[in-house]
Structure 1
Amino acid sequence: MKRIIIVLLSSLIFLPNIGYSHEIGFGGGFGSGLTHPVLGFDHLLAMLSVGILSAQIGGTAIWVIPLAFVSFMLTGGVLGIKEVPLISVELGIAFSVLILGIVLAADKKIPFIITMLFVGFFAIFHGHAHGTEMPFLAEPQLYALGFIIGTAGIHIIGVLIGLSATKIKHGLQLLRYIGASIAGIGFHLVIS
Structure 2
Amino acid sequence: MRSSLPLLLATTLMTLSLPAMAHPGHEHGSGLVAGLLHPLTGADHLLAMIAVGLWAGFVMPQRVLIAPLTFMTAMAGGALLGWAGVSMALVEPGILLSVVVFGLLTLTGGQRQSAGVTLASLACIGVFAVLHGHAHATEASGHVGPYLMGFMLATAALHGIGVLIALAVAGSRGRRWVQRTSGVAIAAGGVLLMAGAV
What TM-score does the superposition give when structure 2 sets the normalisation length? 0.81
Map 1:7-86 → 2, pairs under 5 A? 19=21, 22-23=25-26, 28-59=30-61, 61-86=63-88
Higher relative contact order (CA 8 A, sep 6+): 2
- The letter of the residue matching 2:144 is P
Q: 1:189, CA displacement in angstroms?
A: 2.7
CA deviation map 1:77-112 (0-9, x unaligned)? 111222311111111111110011112222443633
State the alpha-carbon separation in 2 of the partners of residues 66 and 80 from structure 1. Answer: 21
Superposition CA RMSD, Å: 2.7
State the alpha-carbon separation in 1 of the partners of residues 8 and 83 from structure 2. Answer: 37
In the alignment of these two chains, the number of paired residues is 184
- The letter of the residue matching 2:138 is T
Q: 1:164, CA displacement in angstroms?
A: 1.0
| Structure 1 counterpart of 2:181 | 177
| Structure 1 counterpart of 2:162 | 158
**Residue segments in structure 2 that go unaligned for 5+ positions in a row:** none
Q: 1:57, CA displacement in angstroms?
A: 1.7
**Would you say the 8 A contact 2:75–2:126 is kept in 1?**
yes
Map 1:112-127 → 2, pairs under 5 A? 112-127=118-133
Q: 1:124, CA displacement in angstroms?
A: 0.4
Same amino acid, percent of matched pairs: 33
**Would you say the 8 A contact 2:21–2:193 is kept in 1?**
no
**Residue segments in structure 1 that go unaligned for 5+ positions in a row:** none
Q: 1:188, CA displacement in angstroms?
A: 2.6
